[in-house]
Structure 1
Amino acid sequence: MIKAIFTRQNDGSLSSVTLTGHAGSGKYGFDIVCASVSTLAINFVNSLEVLTDTQADIDMNDVEGGYMKISIPRDNQEKVQLLFESFLLGMTNLSNDSSKFVTTKVI
C-alpha cells in the first residue's frame, strides 16, 4: 500500500509530503495505481519548477523505490500553495477510488 502523508503548518500552509510503500495493484510495469501516484508527484514537482520557479527539496530511494519526500521552502507563495493543494486533492481522490492500495492523510 502507498501511504501519502502531507504536513500542514499551523498557519494552514502545506510544507511537505512523504510517499511510502508500493501499491501492489498489478504486475511491475503494469501497476496503474503506482503510475497514477508517480504521475501526480512528478507533475507537482515539475509544476513548482516551471510555474513558480520554486525548487523543491526531494529525497527518494532510487534503488528500490517506495519512498519519496517532497519539501518546499517556507516562502509559501500563493501559487505554490495552490499547486500543493491540487496535489493533495488528486491524492485524496485517488485514495477514495483505490482505498485498497493508497491512503492519504494530513498531519
Structure 2
Amino acid sequence: MIKIYIHRDAHKNIIGYTVQGHANAAAYGEDIVCASISILAQTALLALHELLSIDVAYEIDHGWLYCKLPMNLPKELFDKANLILNTMLIGIKGTQGMYGRYIELHDEEV
C-alpha cells in the first residue's frame, strides 16, 4: 500500500508531503499505480525546484519521497508553490479514485 501524507499549515496551505510504500498492484516495473503516484510526487518536487527555483528540503529513497517547503517564502512564491502542490493532489486523488485499495491518503494540518 502507498501511504501519502499531505502536510498543511494552520491556513490549510500545503507545506510539504510524504509518499511511502509500494502499491504492489502488479509486478515490479509493471505497476501503474506505483508509477502514477511516483511521477506525480517527483514532478511536483521538480517543478518547485526548476520552475520556481525554490530550495526545497527533500529525501528520495526506494519507496520513499519527502518534500517540505522552506519557511518564510515570499507570499507570491508560496502561492505559486501551492498551485503546483494542489495540482499534484488533484492527480493523487484521481489515481486514488481509480485504485483506492492501493492508496491511503492523509491530508492533515501539522
Number of residue equivalences: 104
State the match for 1:27 in structure 2. 27
State the match for 2:8 in structure 1. 8
Percent identical residues = 26
Q: Which consecutive unaligned segments of at least 5 residues does structure 1 have?
A: none
Q: Distance in 2 between matches of 1:50 and 1:23?
A: 28
* Residue 60 (structure 1) shift: 2.7
State the match for 2:65 in structure 1. 68
- With normalisation by structure 1, the TM-score equals 0.90
Root mean square deviation of aligned Cα: 1.2
Q: Distance in 1 between matches of 2:79 and 2:33?
A: 29
Higher helix proportion (structure 1 or 2): 2
State the match for 2:103 in structure 1. 102
DSSP 3-state at the match of 2:55: coil
- With normalisation by structure 2, the TM-score equals 0.87
CA distances 1:38-95 after superposition (whole Å, capped 9, x unpaired): 110111011111221112211232xxx1221111113152110100111111111111
Following TM superposition, the consecutive aligned residue runs of length 4 or more in structure 1 with deviations greater than 4 angstroms are: none
Q: Which consecutive unaligned segments of at least 5 residues does structure 2 have?
A: none
